[in-house]
Amino acid sequence: MMQKLVITAAVNGAEVTREQTPYVPITPKEIAAAAIEAAAAGASIIHVHARQDDGTATQNKEVYREIIERIRENSNVIVQVSTGGSVGMTAQERTEVISLAPEMATLSTGTVNFGAGVFYNSLEMICDFAIRMKQYQVRPEIEVFDVGMIANAVDLVNRGLLASPMHFDLVLGVPGAIPAEISHLMHMVASLPCGSTWTAAGIGRSQLPIATAAILLGGHVRVGLEDNIYYSKGRLAVSNAELVERVVRLTKEIGRDIATPDEARRIVSISPCT
Ligand code: KMH
Ligand code: ZN
């Protein structure tokens, strides 16, 4: 029997602007409202990026603190902070947030072209991020944008820097990284170490097909405005919750159940399996 589906809502990202969509949450208050609404719709993990009030990406710890506290006041959802930040940020900036000891944080295990930029993650940086997460007991979600990054993550397990089983986010469709083809998704899944859990995130118009494939393959799903701002061709998604609701409908039609935040904690090994 398939595990219940863990839905991650990636509510804002670092790159999406108000010019692209008026619905992207920016301030801690807006981000928390979007997170709580997405959780009520069925998301059990919220992946979040901090922003300054003018919309610029920031990794400022105090902004993250406010976001987490505002979400916590009204929801039991898992808050997963970004350590990716935006292209060009220093390792020091990106890791500041780990000392808040959030429940979860992303850990990208390789360097990749990211549109016109380069998302830089040297081995030294990856090891340092992993050590800090271990120190603060933060559960890493291993973000892989290409298949070689899976082998890098296994290398970190062998060095004793990451715990096994790992939880992966397989991101497909970033320009410059692995394209969003179902065959690539299947190859990535087949390349994961035994016992891993995984979620899949398709970028742009691939969000829905990749989510549908992940539901069928027994993985988990990430949707949200960070990865895709449209509900359908030419029609903006009016909220993160709207994208989550569609995944919930599809999943139930197929006969799979949706995980609550506490069930998701067990599935992705934040708390021990019972
Ligand atoms: N903004 C991207 C450069 C993460 O959150 O860890 C990196 C990113 C990954 O979004
Ligand atoms: Zn992100």
**CATH number of the domain that residue 199 is part of:** 3.20.20.70
Ligand 1 neighbours by CB, cut-off 6 Å: 13-15, 82-84, 86-87, 106, 108, 114, 119, 143
Question: How many whole angstroms from 255 Cα to the centroid of ligand 1?
Answer: 32
Residue at 187 is within a domain: yes
Residue at 159 is within a domain: yes
Q: Among residues of the chain, what percentage have pLDDT more than 70?
A: 99
Full DSSP string of the chain: -PPPBPEEEE--TTT--TTT-TT---SHHHHHHHHHHHHHHT-SEEEE--B-TTS-B---HHHHHHHHHHHHHH--PEEEE-S--STT--HHHHHGGGGG--SEEEEE-S-EEETTEEE---HHHHHHHHHHHHHTTPEEEEEESSTHHHHHHHHHHHTTSS-SS-EEEEEE--TTS----HHHHHHHHHHSPTT-EEEEEE-GGGHHHHHHHHHHHT-EEEESTTT--EEETTEE-S-HHHHHHHHHHHHHHHT-PBPPHHHHHHHTTSS---
Q: Number of folded domains in the chain? A: 1
pLDDT tens by residue, 169-228:
999 999 999 999 999 999 999 999 999 999 999 999 999 999 999 999 999 999 999 999
Residue at 16 is within a domain: yes
pLDDT tens by residue, 81-94:
999 999 999 999 99
Residue at 173 is within a domain: yes
Question: How many whole angstroms from 10 Cα to the centroid of ligand 2?
Answer: 7
Atom of ligand 1 nearest to the CA of 10: 5
Residue at 238 is within a domain: yes
Range of the domain at 108: 7-267
Residue at 273 is within a domain: no
pLDDT tens by residue, 1-57:
899 999 999 999 999 999 999 999 999 999 999 999 999 999 999 999 999 999 999
Give the model's confidence band at 271: pLDDT under 50 very low, under 70 low, under 90 confident, else very high. Answer: confident
Please tell me the pTM assigned to this model.
0.98
